[in-house]
Amino acid sequence: MGSISGSKKLKRQMAPQFWGIGRKDKRFVITVKPGSHKKSHSIPTAVLLRDTLNMVTSLREAKSAIYAGKVKIDGVVRKSLHHSIGLMDVIELENVSDVYRLVPTDGKLLKPIKIQDSEKTKKLAQVVRKVTISKGRTQIGFHDGRSLISDTPVNVGDVCLLQVPEQKILEVIKLEKGNHGLVTKGTNAGKIGKIETIEDGTFILPKKVVLSLEDRKIEIPADIIMPIGKEDPIIQLK
């Protein structure tokens, strides 16, 4: 009987470029299972350890580390080879002093950067949905699949600075004129600019943002802009 959750492997030629894997080493590579991030926007834990961070040299070593509970994502131990790791996730490894965060850089969708140990409990999470549930309470859904019930006033597109793994909202950064935004996808991924104007969308056209990048201005969909602060990023992104 086949697995109802889909295949556990993927042809290397079909893997995203940001995984950093060799294309001609073998035919298949471990893939991402459904989870917190979209399949096309995340890296499986085993591939991150072996190919992206080069912490281990083989899949066997990756399995040993993961099954032993030596890998933490956002402060939570993850024991799946296929767990999806994506935008703004914080990676800790037992007995390794370096802590990493996945961010868009130089046109790449995801790239690990080293961050200070004091920042490993902080994470930016963008609001992608807001629903009113029983007793008038509000449930907030974030880009990484997590959700929480909170009375904090937020709108879709805003970003919350979370304390993980407790999921406590420390601060809210509004998607509004004057704030700085990080481009999360496309050819400008990783670039930071000032939000000049926000144009409401229609039934057909998406909501758009005019972003000032150094000596030019670009107009891009609002869903690929992550507000990060008034001036400097509220957390380390480079």
Long-range contacts made by residues 102-105, C-beta under 8 angstroms, separation at least 24? 102/43, 103/182, 103/190, 103/237, 103/238, 104/182, 104/183, 104/184, 104/185, 104/189, 104/190, 105/189, 105/190, 105/238
Class of domain 9-116 as given by CATH: alpha beta
Architecture of the domain spanning 122-173: Beta Barrel (2.40)
pLDDT over 90 at 12, yes or no: no
Structural domain boundaries in the chain: 9-116, 122-173, 180-229
pLDDT over 80 at 132, yes or no: yes
pLDDT digits (tens, 9 = 90+) for 13-62: 888 888 888 777 788 899 998 788 988 899 999 999 999 999 999 999 99
Of 230, 224, 181, 192, give the one whose Cα is nearest residue 206: 224
Distance in angstroms (rounded) separating the CA atoms of residues 2 and 151:
44
pLDDT over 50 at 1, yes or no: no
Region 144-160: mean pLDDT is 94
**pTM to 2 decimal places:** 0.91
Q: Do residues 139 and 130 make contact, with C-beta atoms less than 8 angstroms apart?
A: yes
* pLDDT band for position 5 (cuts 50, 70, 90): low
